A and B are shown apart, each in its own frame.
Chain A
Amino acid sequence: MDPDLTELEGRLQQFIGRTIGPPVVARDCVTEAAIRQFCDVIGDRNPAYRDAESAVETRHAGVVAPPAMMQSWVLDGPPREGIEKARTEQDRLYDLLSEYGYTSALGTSSEEHYERYLRPGDKVSAETVIESVTGPKKTGLGEGWFITTRTTFRDNADAVVGWIEFRVLKFAPKQSVARESEQPATRDPERPSRIKPPMARDNAWWWQAVEKGRLPIQRCAQCGQLRHPPRPMCDACGSVEFDSIDACGRGSVHSFTVVEHPQFPGYEYPIIVVLIDLAEGERIVSNLIDCAPDDCRIGMPVEVVFETGEDGMVLPLFRPAEASS
């Protein structure tokens, strides 16, 4: 590996797991007035947020704050003259990457989780931890690093009320990577990539887990039935609550096709597309790699491998495996 890159990697490792600074404590307690102003601005008419009298009738038995407000309680005020904002570990991490040519930043995803509604009188604090720094990955924008931070929100009693996981791509805009040893590897922005899934509520969580090297199978939180591909409701019991298990990654070929024509830009042909019987009993469509098209057989044992395409997308692929005993 490029010595510069090895050095950078070593320095980046030191940030992982660190809190970016002392917890940020809200300047004010949660108040009915602030909730109402927020709702006025975004046009939310839910009486549970706006109106003390009718809020008593709701299951909250009083006014609560919309979950989406969580972050707003701890936002910095406008900058004040003469007062320098304290630099955080996150700022230092960004500076380090900028030094190596990864000068631009783009928020790529955020995931929110709420433990409970905030009520008037709560005073929120937030602590942010750098969860992971992964890369370098080649993306459509240029080569970059994915930085994942998790901000945990707590109440006055230090109980967790929710968290937000935020992912940022810190990248070198095309043509400006500081390292010169590897120029041709930078992806041509005009070069088409495979057709990627749209990220939406019902499927994004699955791809995010895949990006972390997991092969999740959706599981109904109520009756435990597994289902793939993910869908928002359990067809067995009607529950919309779900979690997932991680598949062990082993399975066998139920059927396959070798796609040869027509050939679409962004794919390399021939492609072996396989329908896998996973050990857990669910089926999944993927590609078989490290196998000649003529050698693919129904019933053949396979195992998952995670591959990052040159477009930056992580895909769970399969390769031939030893028959499991």
Chain B
Amino acid sequence: MADSLKNKASIVGIGTTPFTKNSGVSELSLACQAVRAAIDEAGLKPSDVDGLVTFLLDSSDEIEVARSTGIGDLTFFSQVNYGGGAAVGLIHQAAMAIATGSAKYVVVYRAMNGRSGHRMGQGVSGQVVTSDLIHWSWYTPFGLLTPASWIAMSAQRYMHEYGATRDHLATVALTQRDHAQANPNATTRGRTLSREEYFSARMVSRPLGLYDCCQETDGGCALVITSPERARDLASKPAQIRAVSQASFEGQEQMTSFYRPDIARLPEMEMAARAVYTQAGLGPEDIDAACLYDAFTIEVLMQLESFGFCGVGEAKDFIVDGALTLGGRLPNNTHGGLLSEGYIHGLNNIAEGVRLVRGTSCNQPERADHVLVSSGVGVPTGAMILGCAE
């Protein structure tokens, strides 16, 4: 069963809207624009699409999108839970639908007015008493209200145990900001970042400061998934899904898995790593480039260890000498990532993974045969490996 989804589906289309700070349109409009753009890019007609998958957090339901884009009939539709952890889950759902014949062409999407509308950093609150609301209520009275504050708790412990410093976090932030300068759709294009600016910016939730946090973005992103056989007949070079898996680990909470013995590691990400390496028959040494989920800089360091690119606690040493840059051992988030391209909840990182395999990234490394992409950190999550068609 471990390799059951290996090479069973390919990503054949990418669509994005402009990423801005104020879209001036509804989230449904963004979703429809992104979905249509992805379908067009794949060289398909809307009516070819019979499956839609999105985030549970997305405000645009599948049927609204189907109706507005002319997709029409659907045989498969689904939503995946847990914030940014859902991104890879969308691909997982789509790949299963394709592999089982439940759908022929699935479009996955995420559209949000993340800056002009509901801002993720504005804290949790709620009216209906669900288990989720009770979960948050162990933290809200104490002022632990935002994603930055949740991840800061693990960051502090991680840095305490392994001697990583804000200087190392700065390296992640600066590298990705550099990458974004070549990306026409990056919200930070034209705004370079110096180490001095990084350190003089205000703190958000110590040890995380302003530039450790991702962009708040308005925008949409969509991807088209189909079978490798159908992919051959389409215009663009497909990115084949070598492996995809979701992962939620024992003691999992959303962003607050504080009760496991070791909070300085990401066991759900280690679990995802084991799953995708086994499924693809690959190891970390085979991965040429990555799009590691980067809502916060610290997450990149921790994942380098989860995915075995270095030993536990060694990420701070791994990243010196430009390992994450274009010419380095593991070019990471070559588009700028969530930190510097924009925060479309990680779906835009998967889009970059596809571009890397196609060879069309704005910062294309010499070699990108296998690209690793992960979704949300600190939440039930997942990972995937993309490669060229076989």
Q: Give chain B residues whose Cβ lies under 8 Å from the Cβ of A255.
A: 153-154, 156-157, 160, 258, 263
Cβ contacts A253-288/B at 8 Å (1 or 0 each) = 011111111101001010101010000001101110
Q: How far does the Cβ of B167 sit from chain A's closest Cβ, in whole Å?
A: 19
Are A283 and B259 neighbours in the complex by a CB distance under 8 Å? yes
Bound complex: CA A262 to CA B204 (Å): 7
Choose from B129, B152, B156, B160 the contact partner of A198 (Cβ within 8 Å).
B129
- B183 proximal to A (CB < 8 A): no
Contact at A264–B145, with CB atoms within 8 Å?
A: yes
Partner of B203, one of A197, A256, A260: A260
Most central of B124, B146, B153 by chain A CB within 10 Å: B153
A17 within 8 A of B: no
B193 on the interface (CB 8 Å rule)? no
A12 to B124, CA, bound (A): 40
Establish whether residues A262 and B146, one from each chain, have CB atoms under 8 Å apart when the complex forms: yes
Tell me if B160 and A261 are in contact (CB < 8 A).
Answer: no
Q: Are A200 and B149 in contact (CB under 8 A)?
A: no
Chain B residues with Cβ below 8 Å from A298 are 156-157, 160
Name the distance in Å between A236's Cβ and chain B's nearest Cβ. Answer: 12
Cβ-based interface call for B205 (8 A): yes
> For B155, what are the chain A residues with a Cβ–Cβ distance below 8 Å?
257
**Which residue on chain A has the smallest CB distance to residue B202?**
A261
- Cβ of A212 under 8 Å from chain B: no
Interface of A is mostly: loop
Collect the chain A residues with CB atoms within 8 Å of residue B279's CB: none
Of B125, B144, B206, the contact of A285 (CB 8 Å cutoff) = B144
* CA of A271 to CA of B144, assembled, Å: 9
In the complex, A179 has a CB within 8 A of chain B? no
Q: Is the CB of A198 within 8 A of B134?
A: yes
> Which A residues are in CB contact (< 8 Å) with B125?
195
User: Min CB distance, B204 to chain A, in Å?
Assistant: 5
B154 touches A258 (CB 8 A): no
Query: For chain B residues 75-120, which have a beta carbon within 8 Å of chain A?
Result: none
Residue A11 CB within 8 A of the other chain: no
Q: Report which of B139, B143, B156, B206 forms a contact with A264, defined as CB distance below 8 A.
A: B143
Known: A197-B141, A283-B259, A285-B256. A273 touches B153 (CB 8 A): yes
Scan B187-213; emit 1 where CB is below 8 A from any A CB, else 0. Answer: 000000000000000111111100000
Instruction: Give bound CA distance, A287 to B131, whole Å.
Output: 23
For B161, the closest partner residue in chain A by CB is A298
* Known pairs A195-B125, A273-B143, A293-B206; A257 contacts B138 (CB<8 A): no
The answer to whether B134 and A261 touch across the interface, beta carbons within 8 angstroms, is no
- By secondary structure, the B interface counts as mixed
Task: Indicate whether A113 reaches chain B with its CB closer than 8 angstroms.
Answer: no
Could you tell me if A260 and B258 are in contact, using CB atoms closer than 8 angstroms?
Answer: no
CB within 8 Å for A261 and B203 given contacts A256-B156, A275-B153? yes
Q: Mark B209-224, 1 if CB is under 8 A from A, else 0.
A: 0000000000000000
List the B residue with the shortest CB-CB distance to A298: B160
Q: Which of B121, B144, B202 contacts A260 (CB 8 A)?
A: B202
Contact mask A215-247 → B, CB, 8 Å, 1/0? 000000000000011000000000000000000
Complex interface: chain B residues within 8 A of A293 (CB): 206
Assembled-state Cα–Cα distance A80/B275 (Å): 76
Query: Cβ of B126: which chain A residues have Cβ within 8 Å of it?
Result: 198
Min CB distance B256 to A, Å, is 7
For B204, give its contact among A196, A203, A228, A260 (CB under 8 Å).
Answer: A260
The closest CB in chain B to the CB of A294 belongs to B206
Chain A residues with Cβ below 8 Å from B206 are 257-260, 293
Instruction: Classify chain B's interface size.
Output: 35 or more
Give the chain B neighbours of A229 by CB distance below 8 A. Answer: 135, 138, 259
Given the complex of chains A and B, what is the CA–CA distance between A200 and B143 in angstroms? 21
Task: Kindly state whether residue A194 has any CB partner on chain B within 8 Å.
Answer: yes
- Chain A CB within 8 A of B2 CB: no
Q: Which residue of A lies closest to B139 (CB)?
A: A285
B166 CB to nearest chain A CB (Å) = 13
> CB-nearest residue of chain A relative to B263?
A255
Residues of A within 8 A of B263 (CB): 254-255, 275
* Pairwise interchain contact A264-B202, C-beta atoms closer than 8 A: no
Contact call B258/A275, Cβ cutoff below 8 A: yes
CB within 8 Å of A: which of B135-186?
Answer: 135, 137-146, 149, 152-157, 160
Which among B142, B207, B256 is the interface contact of A287 at CB below 8 angstroms?
Answer: B142
Measured between beta carbons, the chain A residues less than 8 angstroms from B203 are 258, 260-261
B327 beta carbon closer than 8 Å to chain A = no
Task: State A140–B263 Cα separation when bound (angstroms).
Answer: 37
CB distance from A194 to the nearest CB of B (A): 5
Nearest-Cβ distance from residue A241 to partner chain B, whole angstroms: 19
Beta-carbon contact of B140 and A257 below 8 Å: no
Q: B123 in the interface, Cβ–Cβ < 8 Å?
A: yes
A198-B129, A258-B203, A298-B156 known; A271+B143 contact, CB < 8 A = yes
B312 on interface, CB distance cutoff 8 Å: no
Rounded to whole angstroms, the CA-CA distance of A9 and B155 in the bound complex is 48
Q: How far is the CB of B248 from chain A (nearest CB, A)?
A: 14
Residues of B within 8 A of A315 (CB): 141-142
A95 within 8 A of B: no
Cβ–Cβ contact B142 & A203, under 8 A: no
Within the assembled complex, what's the spacing in Å between the Cα atoms of A260 and B121? 13
Per the bound structure, the CA–CA distance linking A195 and B126 in Å amounts to 9
B154: A residues at CB distance < 8 A: 255
A200-B139 in contact (CB<8A)? no
A259 to B126: give the CA distance in the assembly, Å: 21
Which residues of A lie under 8 Å from residue B160 when comparing CB positions? 255, 298
28 contacting pairs across A/B (C-beta < 8 A): A195-B141, A254-B157, A256-B156, A257-B144, A257-B152, A257-B153, A257-B206, A257-B207, A257-B208, A259-B144, A259-B149, A259-B152, A259-B205, A261-B205, A262-B121, A262-B123, A264-B143, A264-B145, A269-B143, A271-B142, A271-B143, A273-B149, A273-B153, A283-B258, A283-B259, A285-B144, A286-B142, A315-B141
7 other contacts beyond A273-B139, A287-B142, with CB at 8 A cut-off?
A: A202-B134, A257-B155, A260-B202, A267-B143, A273-B143, A275-B153, A285-B144
